[in-house]
Structure 1
């Protein structure tokens, strides 16, 4: 059982909301304040603020609709159902669908009240809800504000190192097909978590303009880090899908391809080290082939594809597999080159140096 900061803050918000509600309205149970607090603690401060605004607006609308419908149709089950439909339709039209559940709860509680003063009862219930939302927002802002950087980098490092390890094993034909399939599913799940954390980091509330600019520059790097790791996963997926094609490569072709990918994967690891400051900004200059070597490399694959097309009469897609493997490796290389350029520029800017794009890549 794990109790994190968000769980503790939710419990504290509920407690304080109930106390505040009972203090302002002694005859009320404070239930709506507690419910609102429990539903309003968000994983980022910015999202908490957006939730705060939307819930206040939505519950005010719900309270007004409840009062109008009570006077127009009464508080019968049919009237409550019609009121709920109307409220949901309005909130959907205002793009406030995320706060519909709490608003409908508030509306139902108001319309089922036994108080003869419906306006006062509605006002009390709406204020209770606003109390819960407000206290939840303030607690999330002041007490251990959500920081996702550590988990973000941990997820990125874990999935990247694991995928590169699996790719190296696959290139040497040391993986089991079924086990690799399971590992790829795990990697895709980790990337979903990575993307969720990226969205949370991008939503962090930063007041200082200087810090916002610095964060925006980092977000560009983070996005390309994720894109590059995703392209590594795509490459491994392609090798897994067409492993029979790769295994049919001539020994020389397989060796050259393996050495090329080993160069790219080593560069990937060192680019990440560069971002952490463990490698100089101008390092990692060995990825790009010269024109002659690249032409020979392409011709080697094209000849292999042609050979597969000619010899596999009943399996015409073998040649496609060769092309898919080559394309996936080139896309990985392209993302690595872009990431390297961005990280180099970022680190040089961090040290107050000018970035010279003419030295992007040295030739092999």
Structure 2
């Protein structure tokens, strides 16, 4: 069982909401805890956005509940009809994200049996908003998300696992079904990584200058994730066309293996360079992969194609072409990341650099 920061923050926000609600009334204060649970968000920006949207949704839910009770009274069918109307209204107003808590607000207000109805409705609405505000405060000041650290280590870990299978696959020592199963896991991890990046991208800066600095960092991390996906796509093609690769002539296989080793070493260096742990060393676009190697690989492959029809082969040239094409696409993506890294550290030295703590945040 893994307990993340968001789980702890949810617990703290519930405790804070219940504590604050007790100053208004002990009766019904548990609604604040429920509201805090619904309102907890994975990012600070989403928390800020949630306060506005939740306030709008809860106001609509509360007003609808009061109107329906005053017009038709309290009945099971009236409550159900009110929920349908509320969901439809929120959908039209593009407030689907707050539907859950808005419906809860409507239900607890309509569930009134004694005392002054308007006073009870106002109190329960206040309980709901206390929960929303408590969740936002906790999300802002308590264990703020470390997006750069998470993204960096997740890229590093996913790439490391992919590289292991690439080396085994090109040597013919991998099991097809095991690699295929791990590919599904890699796809899930990269998708999760991209979702985490979207949260990072949504974060807002307090000043215009800081916004420009953050934009450059976000572009760099976007390319890191894109390069990771290219490595995944390469492994997927190597696994899919494993038999074709193993039946290639030895000289072509050796050249492909050499090229893959260079590409993976290049990627590993770039990941270290993003955090400024290794010197830039070379000018942008001057990669570890020498152009001569690329020409050699193409020359060997073209020679093989010329003699393909002269003898009977145990592989499909179209499949091999897809693998080699994936290698070149991967290389181009790494060179683009190389260019961005050089630009970031050579031309923006006055800016605050990427901060990565020595922690492991693997998914």
Tell me, yes or no, whether TM beats 0.5. Answer: yes
In structure 2, what is the equivalent of residue 345 of structure 1?
343
The answer to whether structure 1 residue 92 and structure 2 residue 94 are counterparts is no
| Residue 196 of structure 1, CA deviation | 2.1
Secondary structure of residue in 1 paired with 2:270: helix
Deviation at 1:20, TM superposition (A): 2.0
Indicate if the aligned counterparts of 1:21 and 1:131 stay in contact, CA closer than 8 A: yes
Quick check: 190-199 or 229-238, which moved more? 190-199
List gaps (5 residues or longer) in structure 1.
Answer: 354-364
**Shift of residue 350 of structure 1?**
3.7
- Equivalence for 2:354: none
Q: 1:23 and 1:352, CA in 2 relative to 1: closer, same or farther beyond 3 A?
A: closer
Q: Is 1:305–1:320's contact at 8 Å kept on the other side of the alignment?
A: no
In the aligned structure 1, how far is the partner of 2:350 from the partner of 2:14?
48
Q: Contact (CA 8 Å) 1:274, 1:280: kept in 2 or not?
A: yes
Partner of 1:359: none
Mapped to 2, the partners of 1:148 and 1:243 lie a distance apart of 37
SS state of the match for residue 8, structure 1?
helix
SS in 1 for 2:28: coil
Give CA-to-partner distance per residue, 1:21-80, whole Å, 9 cap, x none.
Answer: 231235x32122111012212121111111111111100000011111112222111111
The answer as to whether partners of 1:253 and 1:300 remain within 8 angstroms in 2 is yes
Aligned to 1:287: 289
Q: 3-state SS of the aligned residue for 1:23? A: coil
CA distance in 2, matches of 1:14, 1:296: 63
Matched, 1:332 2:300: no
Contact 1:306–1:319, Cα closer than 8 Å, also in 2: no
Aligned to 1:197: 196
Change (3 A) 1:66 1:249: same
Counterpart for residue 117 of structure 2: 118
User: Offset of 1:205 from its aligned partner?
Assistant: 4.0
C-alpha distance in structure 2 between counterparts of 1:335 and 1:161, whole Å: 17
Aligned residue for 2:337, secondary structure, equals helix
1:96-139 per-position Cα deviation (integer Å, ceiling 9, x unaligned): 11111111111111112014643322222211101110111112
Q: In 2, Cα distance between the equivalents of 1:337 and 1:206?
A: 29
Q: Relative contact order (alpha carbons < 8 A, sep ≥ 6): 1 or 2 greater?
A: 2
How big is the shift at 1:308?
5.3
Q: Aligned pairs, how many?
A: 348
In the alignment, what sits opposite 2:228?
229
Correspondences of 1:1-364 after superposition (within 5 Å): 1-26=1-26, 28-115=27-114, 117-283=116-282, 285-289=287-291, 294=294, 297-305=297-305, 318-351=316-349
